[in-house]
Amino acid sequence: MFRLKRQLKNMHQQATPSHAFKMHLWHKLAEELGEASDCVPVRRFRFATVTGIASLVLVFGMGTGVYAYESPSVVDGHPLHFMKEGIESVEGVFARSPEGRARFHTRMMSRRLEEGETHLQDAAHAQRALERAAIQFEYSVDEVAGGFKDLERRGSFFDDLSVQQARYVELSSRVLESEDEIGGPWSLQQRVETHELSSEELRRLFRMNHGAMIDEEQR
Amino acid sequence: MKKGSFEAFYNKNLDRIYRYVFFRVGRNRDVCEDLVSEIFMKALKHFEKYDPDISESAWIYRIAHNHLANHFRDTKQSADIDDVKFFLVGERGEETIITQEEQRHLYEALDKLEPDERRIVTMKYIEGYSYKEMSAVLDRTADALKVATHRTVKKLRSLLKSKKDYVSP
């Protein structure tokens, strides 16, 4: 008693080459292949070259990126400015909570001020840096007002932001000829007027130039 | 030439070509191994011409076919390479090499098929080709081959049914 498919399968099995034959023939072919082909070492050389070049590009790219990100001399018009902006954008993506986003904008404000300080001799660059720092300041306050609930942490954050605010005022006094120009010491206060901040928070935020505010009011 | 490509090609085709040769040289393993070695050496020599996009199996199948034709010509044997004869001279009788009754019946039934039918069945079930690969080798559509294989298997079963020990699956 037998079945057709099983019988055909048996025939299939019987006509299978032995493992020894397979190995022996492959060794013969591999030997022949090694002699006939000089492409294998060439391919290895190509692989090594491509890997080497890719590594160099990667290292160079990372080094350049770090330099662009860290250096305050990289500002608008610099060939690496796009890298700096790109890295900062990525950094911004990772700031998810209102507090994280607020702190991110504060950090960006600090970076813009640093750029302005580096380009003090170039009034146009320094002014642009001030404008951009003011925008980051507003974003920070916006994030705090929008969803930063913990009062203690809010207070602590305003203390940190007030340091940047004081830096801004100090830099603008060195850069701007007239206090009426955009970026003057009062521009930050104007920017947060529409936000719902308590008088205590406003006081903490602008405490470092409180004297200047009083002087102005008296004037 | 890429060693990896040839190794993949070798692994895919060795068993099938071995079986193709094996049943055409009277199931003589020594002769079969010599011929298969020569076929793959030839394939290696001309591997640059191999284009798997055109056909994965037809190329080596054609080399095997031509090599077998040369072998039969050189050894002054007359054989139809496209056909396979399963029953060998001397297999009948008490001193038969094949002792299993069932297998003897199957060989007899296979030999009763038309050469085309035998070729389809051996390619599909013994050499192990897919319908797609068979269509490239035999220059027929896969659908046509499916139908033909189905009919041939049916015919083979009916041939075997007539044998005393056979019970339909």
Q: For the domain that residue B145 is a member of, what is the CATH number?
A: 1.10.10.10
Q: A85 in a domain, yes or no?
A: yes
Instruction: Give how many domains chain A has, as a whole number.
Output: 2
If one compares A38 and A19, the residue with the highest pLDDT of the two is A19
CA distance A32 to A28: 6
Residue B87 lies in a domain: no
3-state secondary structure of A78: coil
Contacts of A28 (CB under 8 A, 6+ apart): B37, B41
Same domain, B124 and B167: yes
Contact check, Cβ <8 Å, A26/B41: no
- pLDDT value of position A42: 46
The answer to whether A106 and A116 are in contact (CB under 8 A) is no
Helix (H) or strand (E) holding B126, with range, is none
Between residues B21 and A6, the one the model is more confident about:
B21
The model's confidence at residue A198, banded by pLDDT at 50, 70 and 90, is: confident
Looking at this protein, which amino acid is placed at residue B154?
A: K
Structure tokens at B137: 């080798």
Same domain as A78, residue A158: no
Phi-psi region of B79 (alpha: psi -120 to 50; beta: other; left: phi over 0): beta
Percent residues over pLDDT 70 in chain A: 84
Residue A101 and residue A86 in one domain: no
What does pLDDT average to in each consecutive run of 10 residues of chain B (169 residues)? 77 91 87 94 88 79 90 76 62 49 81 90 89 88 91 88 56
Residues 108-127 of B with CB under 8 A from A: 121, 125-127
User: Does residue A65 sit in the same domain as residue A116?
Assistant: no
Q: Are residues A83 and A135 in the same domain?
A: no
Q: A116-142, pLDDT tens digit by residue?
A: 888 888 888 888 888 888 888 888 888
A33 pLDDT band (50/70/90 cuts)? confident
Report d(CA B166, CA B104) in Å as an integer.
12
At residue A104 the predicted structure's pLDDT band, cuts being 50, 70 and 90, is very high
Domain boundaries, position B16: 1-81
Q: How far apart are CA A5 and CA B130, in angstroms?
A: 16
Q: How many domains would you assign to chain B?
A: 2
* A82 and A102 both lie in a single domain: no
CATH number for the domain spanning B46: value is 1.10.1740
Q: Which two tokens stand for residue A120?
A: 């003090």
The answer on A179 and A77 residing in a single domain is no
Work out the widest C-alpha separation in chain B, in whole angstroms: 55
Task: Using CB atoms, pick whichever of A4, A17, A21 lies closest to residue B169.
Answer: A4
Query: Would you state the pLDDT for residue B28?
Result: 87
Other C-beta atoms within 10 Å of A180: how many? 8
Q: Are A168 and A129 in contact (CB under 8 A)?
A: no
Chain A contact present for B72, CB below 8 A: no
At A173, list the tokens. Answer: 């006094």
Q: DSSP E strands: which ranges in B65-149?
A: none
* Interchain contact, B40 vs A11, CB within 8 Å: no
Write down the pLDDT at residue B41: 93
Domain that holds residue A201: 97-218
Q: Is residue B114 situated within a structural domain?
A: yes
Instruction: Note whether ipTM > 0.90 here.
Output: no
Residue with the larger pLDDT of the pair B112 and A47: B112
Single out the residue of A71, A84, A68, A184 nearest to residue A127, CA to CA: A184
In a domain, B6, yes or no: yes
Chain B residues touching A7 at Cβ < 8 A: 102-103, 106
Using a CB-CB cut-off of 8 Å, the residues of chain B touching A21 are 33
> Does A20 reside within a domain?
no
Domain boundary among the residues A94, A123, A158 is at A94
